[in-house]
Amino acid sequence: MERATYAEIDLGALRHNLQRAIMAAPTSKVLSVIKANAYGHGLVEAANAMETLTNGFAVSHVSEAVELRNAGISVPVVVLLGYKTEDELRLAARHHLSMVIHDTAQLKILDDITLPCPINVVIKLDTGMHRLGLPCQDVHYYFQRLCQHANVDPPPLIMTHLACADDKQSSYTDRQVECFKRQTQGIDAETSMANSAGTLGWPETHADWIRPGIMLYGTSPFAGRTAKDDNLIPVMTLRSSLIAVHRLSRGDLIGYGSTEACPEDMTVGVVAAGYADGYPRRLPSGSPVWVNGHTSKTMGRVSMDTIVINLKDIPAKVGDEVELWGKNLMVDDIADKSGTISYELLCNAGNNCTRIYKDR
Ligand SMILES: *Cc1c(COP(=O)(O)O)cnc(C)c1O
């Protein structure tokens, strides 16, 4: 059987959400974050759809940046994890990539190489996330050192990453912003702090460049909110179809572990989607699924390639289309019910299923 589950990607919605980021921070430039295959939406397709509207792109790895260049993307591309080897630095020089420097081991590699042309670098500072970044208080030293470096085209952009911006009540963002602004004072360089949550919720983080990611794909960066609350349009619709419809009797048990019993004589449907497609196994029985304009509910456990849904009072037959998330069912809600965040569901589904593009 042809695989029935696919991710439909609405590139018009992607552009709408990018406009939303631009409007939220009108005086900042935009580095659109398309790491992890554009959060499962397709690296090159997403880049092509956004290139005329964005000032640059950010990816995690050099290989992703090279793929963008090979696809003809000519705007600045920042590699967020930077480089680990001399070869990666040579690729950066050849393809005019901007390399994040977050660790002194990277400086050593830069010192020991002679590049054919100087490259753009970005200094990443740790202001409290304690993941990647040079110590914030040492920024003057690193800035001077890199401005004078033979392999660097100065001045470096200076950035930091926010740990708690998705929580509007948290005071941690204020602490990070204060530290970043105090330490970078007097340095003549562009700066960047805001992810999606910073872009929409913390104007003081906008600086010269915003770095929106998840909001571009139409899901809210804030806990407990969905796309609609933030005027975003979901980009991915995860679709599948019904491959069986049965009548079952009251008390009949459904799926692995026989965890769910039919409460009455009823019709159920089997959808050809499961955790192999990126539909989360942790999603509890009773979670919503959209069928023929109705909200149905899952029954029992999610299998590898199937789920069972309740078709009581829902007219549906084999072959009918089912939406697992998208414009009718927010992925934010499905993520919440399965104890994770939309980022994870989008990456898993988008990278596991065939993608079909609309509105190129
Ligand atoms: C992933 C990432 C972003 C984008 O974050 P969202 O929460 O998806 O908006 C921005 N900056 C850095 C350094 C990142 O790694």
* pLDDT for the residue numbered 224: 86
> Is 71 within 8 Å of 34 (Cβ atoms)?
no
pLDDT at 254 over 90: yes
Query: Can you tell me the distance from the alpha carbon of 244 to that of 241, in angstroms, rounded to the nearest whole number?
Result: 9
Task: Render pLDDT for 51-106 as a digit per residue (tens, 0 to 9).
Answer: 999 999 999 999 999 999 999 999 999 999 999 999 999 999 999 999 999 999 99
Residue 214 Cβ inside 6 Å of ligand 1? The answer reads: yes
Could you give the count of Cα atoms lying within 13 Å of 65 in the half-sphere of its Cβ?
A: 29
DSSP H helices, 185-239, are 196-201
And the tokens for 129? 């996330």
Cis peptide before 155 (omega within 30 of 0): yes
Catalytic residue set: 35, 256
Q: Which residues pair with 245 in a beta bridge?
A: 269
Task: Render pLDDT for 105-153 as a digit per residue (tens, 0 to 9).
Answer: 999 999 999 999 999 999 999 999 999 999 999 999 999 999 999 999 9
Pocket test for ligand 1, best of 18, 127, 195, 344 (most atoms within 8 A of CB): 195
| 6 Cα to the center of ligand 1, angstroms | 26
* pTM (two decimals): 0.96
> Is 58 within 8 Å of 194 (Cβ atoms)?
no
* pLDDT for the residue numbered 223: 87
Strand pairing report for 253-254 and 134-135: unpaired
* pLDDT for the residue numbered 3: 78
Q: Per-residue confidence at 343, pLDDT binned at 50, 70, 90? A: very high
Quickly tell me which residue has 């009548």 as its tokens.
247
| 319 Cα to the center of ligand 1, angstroms | 39
Which amino acid residue places its CA nearest to atom 1 of ligand 1?
Answer: 213
Residue 211 Cβ inside 6 Å of ligand 1? The answer reads: yes
